[in-house]
């Protein structure tokens, strides 16, 4: 079972305070902190998310645990693709884009290696779970 003692806002707080020493490695997966402007509020949102790499791009899976709707952070990225991520102690300006079907086919196996539940999430929803590629600017 995953350890959820480090989760949400507390995960972000500890990640930022320690430069990722606490929070980058989480339940066998690598995490970053996404910093994106809210599409409705305009306020900065910070979320700890599992990530992978695809060349120079960072990869996120907009799974929301297999729920029928996309996660809010994904909708925020669609509305505001210019954002930042923190990986370890580095803050990196990035531009987000939704991956194509070919992108998903390429990156999905590496992401499910880190978090096997992504396959269960996709199997449990009619929604095609988006992959997001974050390109450093």
Tell me the average pLDDT of the chain. Answer: 97
pLDDT at 3: 81
Task: Please provide the size of the chain in residues.
Answer: 137
Q: What percent of the chain has pLDDT over 70?
A: 99
Measured CA to CA in angstroms, residue 26 lies from 40, 90, 95 at distances of: 30, 18, 25
Classify strands 44-50 and 52-54 as parallel, antiparallel or unpaired. unpaired
73: tokens are 């952070």
- Checking if the pLDDT of 30 tops 90, the result is yes
For residue 126, the model assigns a pLDDT of 97
pLDDT at 1: 67
Q: What's the pLDDT band for 4 if we cut at 50, 70, 90?
A: confident
Domain residue ranges in the chain? 8-136
Sign of CA dihedral 130, 26, 72, 76: negative
Which residue's structure tokens are 């929070």? Answer: 23
Predicted TM-score (pTM) of this structure: 0.96
pLDDT beyond 90 at 5: no
Q: Mention the CATH class of domain 8-136.
A: mainly beta
Structure confidence by residue, pLDDT tens digits, 91-124: 999 999 999 999 999 999 999 999 999 999 999 9
- Asked if pLDDT for residue 2 goes beyond 90, the answer is no
3-state secondary structure of 114: helix
* Tokens, residue 5: 């003692």
- 34-69 confidence digits (pLDDT tens): 999 999 999 999 999 999 999 999 999 999 999 999
């Amino acid at each position: 079972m995953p350890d959820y003692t480090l989760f949400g806002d507390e995960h972000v707080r500890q990640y930022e305070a320690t430069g990722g020493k606490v929070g980058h490695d989480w339940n066998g997966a690598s995490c970053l902190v996404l910093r994106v402007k809210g599409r409705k509020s305009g306020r900065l949102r910070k979320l700890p998310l599992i990530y992978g790499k695809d060349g120079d791009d960072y990869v996120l899976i907009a799974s929301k645990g297999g729920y029928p709707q996309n996660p809010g952070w994904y909708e925020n990225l669609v509305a505001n693709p210019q954002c930042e991520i923190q990986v370890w102690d580095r803050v990196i300006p990035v531009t987000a884009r939704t991956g194509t079907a070919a992108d998903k086919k390429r990156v999905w196996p590496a992401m499910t290696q880190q978090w096997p539940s992504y396959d269960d999430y996709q199997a449990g929803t009619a929604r095609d779970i988006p992959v997001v590629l974050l390109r450093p600017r």
